[in-house]
Amino acid sequence: MSMIDKAYVDRQFPSLNGDTVFLDNAGGSQVAVPVVDRVSQYLLGQNVQLGASYGASQRAGGAVAEGRAALALLMNASRPEEVVMGATATQLFDQLARSLVQKWQPGDEVIVTSFDHEANIAPWRRLEAQGIVIREWHMPEGADVPSINDLQNLMTERTRLVAVTHVSNVFGSIMPIREIADAVHDAGAMICVDGVAYAPHRAVDVQALDADFYGFSVYKVYGPHHAALYGRYDLLRDHASNINHYFYGEDKVPNKLEPGNPNYELAYGCVGVIDYLEGFAQAHGAAKTGREAIEAAFAIFSDHEEVLSRRLLDYLQTRNDVTIIGTRSADKADRVPTISFIVDGQSSDALVRQIDPSGIGIRFGDFHSKRLVNSLGLNSGDGVIRVSAVHYNTVAEIDRLIEQLEILRRQES
């Protein structure tokens, strides 16, 4: 039985009351009403440039600062200045790479994986043009989490950074980030974590993870089309070089990593994500605010999502013509409800398009994890079928998808 009050959630996400079943949430979630309210408040109240002495500009600056503080709270950063804001996680990882490399030397090394979203691979690989040596960490055959021993064997005294994902956006499996971070720090290197596929499902705690850098897309966490990159303050100050205008000092953190300034109204919209999580926690019996509310809300999310994962995985495992790509476990400690599979003898593209008329939104492809999909021998062009749920999805919606899959199976036979 779900612990989630569906009527409450539906009020927070009006789009859920339409004709579409949203099961493509790993590509972007629906936006909560409090987020829209905050964006509207900014645009209709004080939509002016920051930094002036008059009142509206001061209020606008305060609103953007509130947004940065909200993102710091969402990630449990130690201070708002540890949050760099931008349009997408891809953009922010690229800005970080361009900043860090300025203090590295030719022959220094970065370790990337062959199993992540390209956002946290390509920016580092491009540094080869500046003499940085790129080493590749591979997933063991048949596994869905990497070997830390393999990573330790790759690291040398010249390793400067390891880039890795928190959750595979194809496998759905949760990586042991704290263990990886400990190994990276033991080798004297830094770790940069792509949390895009994790942040919609669990409370991010960059301090507990001991992450040096951690990025995610707010538009996948019920917020506006915005992104955030956490960086430990001393690292942003001392190891990251200015990529903004030349007159931004090296101590101007985090602005030296935000060329052109972040989007003001979307920054303020991030306060609405906290509004939603606090309201959700309180509506579900946890009369809490701030970080406690965030953790309480995500604890309820994860329990519910485990039920959704189990429902779909149990069905898929009854079919001898289906191959699940990633872990078969529904345990919330092992995975999030991002589930990929292929059907023997059927095109992923064709199958998804046959489901489209039912109003159920799922997806096919490599999801910008092309290296992983290719390594699995699924590089025919249409990749895998991916179903990605979040807490506002229901068992009934998963059952609707299962019914459609069964209809297509009968048609094929």
User: What CATH code is carried by the domain that includes residue 179?
Assistant: 3.40.640.10
* pLDDT tens per residue across span 107-151: 999 999 999 999 999 999 999 999 999 999 999 999 999 999 999
Q: Which of 14-23, 66-75, 372-381, 394-403 has the lowest mean pLDDT?
A: 372-381
pLDDT at residue 1, rounded to an integer:
43
Same domain, 26 and 42: no
How many helices and strands (H and E) does the chain possess? 14, 13
Q: Which of 288, 287, 285, 303 is nearest to 202 (CA)?
A: 303
Q: Output the average pLDDT for the chain.
A: 96
Looking at the predicted structure, is the pLDDT value of residue 46 above 50?
yes
Residue 278 falls within a domain, yes or no? Answer: no
Same domain, 66 and 118: yes
Same domain, 194 and 46: yes
Same domain, 387 and 406: yes
Same domain, 268 and 315: no
Same domain, 260 and 396: no
Residue 280 falls within a domain, yes or no? Answer: no
Residue 142 falls within a domain, yes or no? Answer: yes
Residue 296 falls within a domain, yes or no? Answer: no
Residue 323 falls within a domain, yes or no? Answer: yes
Same domain, 364 and 226: no
Read off the pLDDT band of 2 (50, 70, 90): low
Q: Which of 399, 393, 395, 382 is nearest to 343 (CA)?
A: 382
**Number of domains comprising the chain:** 2
* pLDDT tens per residue across span 333-365: 999 999 999 999 999 999 999 999 999 999 999
Contacts of 406 (CB under 8 A, 6+ apart): none
- The whole domain housing 62 covers 35-273
Neighbours of 347 (CB within 10 A): 16
Calpha distance 337→390 (Å, rounded): 7
- Angle at the Cα of 200 from the Cα atoms of 164 and 148, rounded to 5 degrees: 25
Residue 165 falls within a domain, yes or no? Answer: yes
Query: In 164-205, which residue ranges form alpha helices assigned H by DSSP?
Result: 177-186
Same domain, 23 and 55: no
Contacts of 172 (CB under 8 A, 6+ apart): 197, 309, 326, 327, 335, 336, 337, 338, 339, 340
Residue 203 falls within a domain, yes or no? Answer: yes
Same domain, 190 and 328: no
Calpha distance 362→366 (Å, rounded): 13
Contact 146, 175 (CB under 8 A): yes
Phi and psi torsions of 241, nearest 5°? -90, 160
Residue 1 falls within a domain, yes or no? Answer: no
Write the CATH number for 309: 3.90.1150.10
Same domain, 15 and 46: no
Phi and psi torsions of 244, nearest 5°? -95, -165
pLDDT at residue 52, rounded to an integer:
96
Same domain, 15 and 78: no
Same domain, 347 and 266: no
- The residue type found at 219 is Y
* pLDDT tens per residue across span 77-106: 999 999 999 999 999 999 999 999 999 999
